[in-house]
């Protein structure tokens, strides 16, 4: 999974490059001697990533459909394990989890009025792209994983993007969704399809159909595949609709690992399982239904690209929607391997990508899977040359991410103790490259590391550092000349939608998510294949190679630095922004009842001030310890940095979502970031006592983080 298109209005925040009191060595986290060795190592490393080899790996990984749990998925797990071994990794293993992984037995959409018509549920072959000539039995049925099984016949209502405000609009005009089938579009900006399913379920709809409007990712955007990056008329966006914003991973083992023989709950008790029947449609298949709708004209923002007036119904289009899933427990496979650390083998720098795809997974995820294997090969080459990191580097090829971030969640739950004790950071790559635009999301403590890594690697086309390419692009988008003053690079607003979730939200590990983006309208369809990537997304695979380089530099620095390259100072800055936004909201909403909340938010502010001060003092101590190469002090500093992110966890989690333990970050139900989620959700619910209590909890957590940094 991943967001198909960057969210509009994304708040991108600054990441200081080498600051005023830069490191003595010019490399964040290194002593002078350490930096010299590191620079030699990095020069050697940067000569290793090979675009042609990545292309060959990609062609193999994306050659056939490999949905999670399938024989081909297992073959690729075995191949990945062999690649890890050949690369020189140690402790290569395939771990099995047994999880609820429904495959479809039947998915059909039939219009019974005003005329008989049946949706094809097929994607059309494209001349010149042999991948798209797949026989139906190999392609499988397009479906929404974890849809309820059932059959419903009802009048259709067009409900725009299927968000709560859309149903409010309908209700205000007397259009009742209850007992009807909602037809909604996958919209851009993206909101997670599971949120659309939940909203339809809560509003009492009998079923939901989600289709790809050409205005969002088809011909309304530009040329469609094979002439351009956008989705052809029959492209279908498959995907999970599970409510993993409540708890991700296997729905039947929430919060514990689904190792073979694990206890399972009854599906009726699983909070993450949808109760509504749901299916995806292409716009080719949605068109006859939309055209048949009468009733009021849909509001302007709901009008799409099909070239006629969209009306909301209800009816006279009547549809029979049938979904039958096999609801089987299936094995899935996580492949891991390691380069063991020489000095601190229990400290883990983890890199990962998911391997499973809805069909071929050209961009999502095989671009990332090919990059992961190349990263293993290139870092493995250094270790075969005799180099050893200080800390252990763990490589992970996840499975069933497309279902509910499944194998990363199960693996994280299984190894909770070891990870909470020793995980330094998790660097995720879902899709490596669908275009040339670098994009990074991370917790604030990783801003500086990512900015420096993006400075060390060149944009393959522009031949300037990636960091400079991003600044130039941002300046151009703002219509200004690049001034060099802006350091916008890392987005510190993390939601969910990929495998970093368990590390951040359950384990309190600093995470980053890296990619190169571009126009991409074939997400989760058959057309997301090797041909799309090789012809459109990244011809030459040079951005794949650049991603391996950047991912590798960040990994090497985390694994080798004398002082962990985590900077707590930007955390205080971001927290200040997040809390200011909440204060504005509670001022507006709270009135007299909000006074207690305001008092509690003042405690939050005081804790943030303390964290800001401690961070500055801590960074100064780190710089002098690095200058003096004082290993005793550096030891203490590293131990503290290892505990820093963990401070933001509350063992009981946020109210209503105990699995989500991080008090700064959680996903909204749409997967968009919910910042300071305990307070934000209480404010949404106008629950002032809860908001005040949550604010005090957050203040305590931030104070813990400040204490971790404080000199004894």
Residue recorded with tokens 């409900």: 159
CA distance 207 to 148: 9
Least distance CB 285 / Zn ion (angstroms): 24
Region of 1-9, 295-303, 345-353, 382-390 interacting with Zn ion (CB under 5 A): 1-9
Mark the segment that binds Zn ion (CB under 5 A) among 361-369, 489-497, 501-509, 638-646: 361-369
Closer to Zn ion by Cβ: residue 1 or 170: 1
Dmax (CA) of the chain: 82
- Check if 401 is active-site: yes
CB closer to Zn ion out of 68 and 507: 68
Nearest Cα residue to 335 out of 393, 418, 394, 422: 394
User: What's the residue count for the chain?
Assistant: 712
- Cis, bond preceding 114 (omega within 30 deg of 0): yes
Q: Does 499 bind Zn ion (CB under 5 A)?
A: no
Min dist CB 354 to Zn ion, Å, is 6
Q: Which helix (H) or strand (E) holds 466?
A: helix 466-477
**Residue (167 or 520) nearer to Zn ion, CB:** 520
- Residue-wise burial string across 441-465, b where 16 or more C-beta atoms lie within 10 A, e elsewhere: bbbbbbbbbbbbbbbbbbbbeeeeb
Residues 6+ apart with CB under 8 A from 401: 1, 68, 354, 356, 365, 407, 408, 430, 498, 499
Which string of x and - marks every residue 382-421 that binds Zn ion (by CB under 5 A)?
----------------------------------------
Shortest Cβ 457–Zn ion spacing (Å): 23
Instruction: Please state the three-class secondary structure of 229-247 as a single string.
Output: CECCCCCCCCEECCCCCCC
Rounded distance, CA 201 to CA 389, Å? 51
Nearer to Zn ion, 284 or 505 (CB): 505
User: Given the complex with Zn ion, which of 357 and 564 has the nearer CB atom?
Assistant: 357
CB of 432 to Zn ion, least distance (A): 11
CB 544 within 8 A of CB 368: no
Backbone angles phi, psi at 358, to 5 degrees: -70, -40
DSSP secondary structure of 336-365: EEEE--SSEEEEEEEEEEE---SSS-IIII
> Could you give the count of Cα atoms lying within 13 Å of 392 in the half-sphere of its Cβ?
19
Distance, CA of 440 to CA of 459 (rounded, Å): 15
Work out which of 102, 194, 232, 365 binds Zn ion, going by CB under 5 A: 365
Least spacing, CB of residue 353 vs Zn ion, in Å = 8
**Could you tell me the smallest distance in angstroms from the CB atom of residue 358 to Zn ion?**
9
The span of 30-38, 208-216, 236-244, 360-368 binding Zn ion (CB under 5 A) equals: 360-368
By CB under 5 A, what part of segment 423-442 binds Zn ion?
430
Smallest distance, Zn ion to C-beta of residue 50, A: 24
* Smaller CB separation from Zn ion, 1 or 373: 1
Q: Return the residue of 98, 216, 244, 364 that touches Zn ion, per CB under 5 A.
A: 364
Segment contacting Zn ion by CB under 5 A, of 78-86, 422-430, 628-636, 688-696:
422-430
User: Of 374, 401, 410, 645, which is the active-site residue?
Assistant: 401
Q: What is the DSSP string of 546-599?
A: HHHHHHHHHHHHHHH-SS----SHHHHHHHHHHHHHHHHHHHHHHGGGGHHHHH
Binding-site size, Zn ion (CB under 5 A): 5
Q: Which is nearer to Zn ion, 365 or 510 (CB)?
A: 365
Considering the complex, state which of residue 372 and residue 626 has its C-beta at the smaller distance from Zn ion.
372
Query: According to CB under 5 A, which residues from 64 to 103 bind Zn ion?
Result: none
Residue 25: CB atoms within 10 Å:
19
Which residues ranging from 2 to 41 are in contact with Zn ion (CB under 5 A)?
2
- DSSP code for 503: I
Residue 338 corresponds to which tokens in the numbers above? 């390691």
In whole angstroms, how close is the CB of 212 to Zn ion at the nearest point?
A: 17
| Closer CB to Zn ion, 166 or 499, in the complex | 499
Pick one of 1, 5, 198, 440: the residue that binds Zn ion (CB under 5 A): 1
In the complex, what is the shortest distance from the CB of residue 399 to Zn ion, in angstroms, rounded to a whole number? Answer: 12
For residue 554, how many C-alpha atoms fall within 13 Å in the half-sphere facing its CB? 32
- From the list 698, 681, 666, the residue with the least C-alpha distance to 493 is 666
Catalytic site positions: 401
Residues contributing to the site for Zn ion (CB under 5 A): 1-2, 364-365, 430
């Amino acid at each position: 999974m991943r967001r198909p298109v960057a969210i509009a209005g994304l708040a991108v925040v600054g990441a200081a490059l080498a600051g005023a009191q830069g490191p003595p060595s010019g490399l964040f986290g290194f002593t002078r001697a350490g930096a010299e060795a590191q620079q030699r190592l990095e020069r050697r490393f940067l000569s290793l990533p090979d675009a042609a080899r990545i292309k060959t790996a990609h062609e193999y990984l994306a050659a056939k459909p490999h949905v999670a749990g399938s024989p081909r998925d297992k073959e690729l797990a075995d191949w990945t394990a062999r690649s890890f071994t050949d690369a020189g990794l140690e402790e290569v293993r395939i771990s099995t989890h047994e999880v609820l992984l429904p495959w479809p037995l039947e998915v059909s959409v039939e219009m019974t009025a005003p005329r008989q018509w049946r949706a094809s549920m097929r994607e059309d072959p494209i001349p010149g792209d042999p991948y798209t000539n797949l026989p139906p039995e190999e392609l499988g049925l397009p479906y929404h994983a974890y849809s309820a099984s059932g059959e419903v016949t009802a009048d259709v209502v067009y409900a725009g993007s299927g968000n709560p405000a859309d149903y409010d609009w309908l209700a205000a005009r007397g259009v009742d969704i209850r007992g009807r089938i909602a037809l909604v579009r996958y919209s851009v900006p993206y909101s997670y399809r599971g949120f659309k399913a939940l909203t339809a379920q809560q509003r009492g709809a009998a079923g939901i159909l989600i289709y790809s409007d050409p205005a969002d990712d088809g011909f309304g955007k530009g040329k469609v595949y094979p002439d351009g990056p956008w989705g052809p008329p029959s492209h279908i966006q498959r995907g999970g609709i599970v409510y993993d914003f409540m708890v991700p991973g296997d729905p039947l083992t929430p919060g514990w690992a689904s190792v073979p023989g694990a206890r399972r709950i009854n599906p009726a008790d699983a909070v993450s399982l949808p109760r509504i029947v749901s299916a995806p449609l292409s716009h080719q298949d949605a068109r006859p239904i939309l055209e048949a709708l009468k009733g009021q004209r849909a509001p302007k923002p709901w009008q799409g690209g099909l070239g006629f007036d969209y009306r909301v119904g209800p009816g006279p289009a009547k549809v029979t929607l049938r979904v039958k899933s096999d609801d089987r427990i299936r094995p899935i496979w996580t492949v891991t391997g390691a380069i063991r650390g020489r000095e601190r083998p229990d400290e883990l720098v983890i890199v990962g990508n998911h391997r499973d795809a809805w069909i071929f997974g050209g961009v999502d995820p095989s671009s990332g899977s090919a990059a992961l294997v190349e990263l293993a090969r290139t870092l493995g080459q250094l270790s075969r040359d005799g180099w050893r990191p200080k800390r252990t580097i763990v490589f992970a090829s996840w499975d069933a991410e497309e279902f509910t971030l499944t194998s990363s969640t199960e693996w994280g739950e299984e190894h909770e103790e070891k990870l909470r004790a020793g995980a330094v950071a998790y660097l995720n790559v879902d899709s490596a490259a669908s275009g040339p635009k670098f994009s990074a999301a991370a917790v604030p403590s990783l801003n500086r590391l990512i900015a420096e890594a993006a400075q060390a690697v060149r944009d393959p086309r522009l031949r300037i550092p990636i960091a400079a390419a991003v600044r130039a692009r941002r300046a151009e988008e703002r219509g200004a000349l690049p001034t060099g003053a802006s350091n916008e690079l890392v987005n510190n607003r993390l939601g969910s939608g990929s495998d970093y979730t368990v590390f951040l939200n359950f384990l309190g590990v600093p995470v980053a998510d890296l990619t190169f983006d571009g126009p991409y309208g074939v997400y989760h369809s058959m057309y997301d294949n090797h041909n799309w990537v090789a012809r459109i997304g990244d011809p030459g695979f040079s951005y794949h190679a650049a991603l391996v380089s950047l991912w590798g530099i960040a990994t090497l620095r985390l694994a080798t630095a004398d002082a962990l390259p985590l900077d707590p100072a930007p955390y205080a800055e971001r927290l200040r922004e997040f809390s200011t936004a909440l204060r504005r909201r509670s001022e507006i909403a709270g009135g007299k009842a909000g006074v207690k909340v305001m008092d509690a938010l003042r405690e939050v502010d005081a804790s943030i001030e303390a964290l800001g001060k401690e961070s500055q003092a801590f960074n100064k101590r780190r710089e002098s310890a690095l200058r003096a190469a004082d290993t005793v002090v550096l030891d203490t500093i590293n131990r503290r940095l290892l505990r820093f992110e963990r401070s933001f966890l509350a063992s009981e989690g946020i109210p209503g979502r105990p699995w989500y333990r991080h008090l700064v970050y959680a996903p909204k139900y749409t997967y968009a970031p919910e910042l300071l989620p305990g307070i934000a959700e209480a404010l949404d619910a106008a629950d002032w006592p809860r908001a005040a209590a949550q604010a005090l909890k957050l203040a305590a957590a931030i104070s813990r983080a400040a204490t971790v940094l404080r000199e004894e």
